[in-house]
Amino acid sequence: MLREGGIVAIPTETVYGLAANAFDQGAVLKVFEAKQRPSFDPLIVHVASKEEVHRLARELPTGAQELMDAFWPGPLTLVLPKRAEVPDIVTSGLDTVGVRMPAHPLTLELLRALEFPLAAPSANPFGYVSPTTAAHVAAQLGDRVPYILDGGPCEVGVESTIIGWEGDRWVLFRPGGLPVEAIESVIGSVANAVKQVLPAAPGMLESHYAPRTPVHVGGIVELLPCFAGKRVGVISFRKTYAARRCVVLSEHGDLTEAARGLFAALRALDDGGCVVILAERFPDEGLGRAINDRLRRAAAR
């Protein structure tokens, strides 16, 4: 199907992606159409090996090879200067392309069987909660996706961390499944990207990853009285609160476990009859930074 210009939902360690041949403009357009994704939001290209990055990037900035050696395959996307062969529809006209090597055995096997890399954003309608199981993809995209490759639940559960080279330094475009602290242990300090009207990389839009139900982020004890008598859903780190439904992401305080369950929790509360979802802020370190980022964007709507 991919060789014939079709689209396929694929598993990764982060979330499920909606994939097409990255060098086939018509196939990539089908991804945008199925997701109803705006053309100004670029896609990530998935490769089978570190060597394949040279098909997409015209050069590797300082530290890029060290990052690939340390973290690929894994949840790290590098935004690199692109070759002319990469279609503008993939990069939204930017002179850079986001590339990563996913750490999922089924998708790596698929990539190695293909003659081309795969452009793949998350396999969900644009702006909504990302899918972490094949069933999530089917529920949200239905017959818009002709084939779903079922690789089981995603191990990481939040999208990849995205960094790019600007000027003479690496900058963070999106926190994600690889803690920034781990990246900085390899290349030194990573700066925060300056906010722009149009995104410089995937996943940078202010309102994103959102359920249909309104989300509020803050102290649960302070927020609950504001919604007294209403069907309230709560997402917490370790503590159970008195609400219609409370999802505790990690009773043991494990941020990795919490990240893995975040999108499933948002989806469950969205489908569970709640009129509002309250989420507490997580420790702003490691994967907690990615969790807080996703909750902030979910609440921005």
Model pLDDT for residues 134-156, shown as the tens digit of each residue: 999 999 998 999 999 999 999 99
Stretch 73-99: mean pLDDT? 96
Does any domain span residue 197?
A: no
% of the chain beyond a pLDDT of 70 = 95
Does any domain span residue 203?
A: no
Which residues make Cβ contacts (< 8 Å) with residue 131, sequence separation at least 6? 15, 16, 122, 123, 124, 137, 140, 263
Q: Which of 85-94, 189-198, 216-225 has the lowest mean pLDDT?
A: 189-198
The three-point CA angle 274-276-257 to 5° equals 85
Residue 105 has pLDDT above 80, yes or no: yes
Q: What is the pLDDT of residue 208?
A: 66
pLDDT tens by residue, 216-258: 999 999 999 999 999 999 999 999 999 989 999 999 999 999 9
CATH number reported for the structural domain that contains residue 286 in this entry: 3.40.50.11030
Does any domain span residue 249?
A: yes
Same domain, 176 and 280: no
Q: What is the pLDDT of residue 275?
A: 95
Same domain, 89 and 231: no
Same domain, 124 and 82: yes
Rg of the chain (C-alpha set): 19
- The pLDDT confidence band at residue 172, using thresholds 50, 70 and 90, is very high
Same domain, 281 and 182: no
Does any domain span residue 170?
A: yes
Does any domain span residue 253?
A: yes
Does any domain span residue 42?
A: yes
Query: Which residue, of 158, 192, 226, is where some domain finishes?
Result: 192
CATH number reported for the structural domain that contains residue 182 in this entry: 3.90.870.10
Report which of 134, 141, 149, 118 is spatially closest to residue 35, judged by C-alpha positions.
141
Same domain, 105 and 245: no
Q: What is the pLDDT of residue 202?
A: 66
Stretch 278-300: mean pLDDT? 93
Same domain, 148 and 264: no
Same domain, 176 and 250: no
Say how far apart CA 51 and CA 79 lie, in whole Å.
16
- How would DSSP label each residue in 177-238? SS-HHHHHHHH---EEPPP-SS-SSTT--SS-SB-SS-EEES-HHHHGGGGTTS-EEEEESS
Same domain, 187 and 235: no
Same domain, 13 and 56: yes
Does any domain span residue 97?
A: yes
For all residues of the chain together, what is the average pLDDT? 93
Quick one: tokens of 15? 């979330």
Residue-number span of the structural domain to which 279 is assigned? 215-300
Residue 205 has pLDDT above 70, yes or no: no
Stretch 80-104: mean pLDDT? 96
pTM of the model: 0.90
| Domain count within the chain | 2
Say how far apart CA 68 and CA 141 lie, in whole Å.
32
Q: What is the pLDDT of residue 207?
A: 64
Residue 40 has pLDDT above 60, yes or no: yes
Same domain, 259 and 174: no
Q: Is the dihedral of CA 284, 133, 26, 143 positive or negative?
A: negative
Report which of 213, 166, 155 is spatially closest to residue 192, judged by C-alpha positions.
166
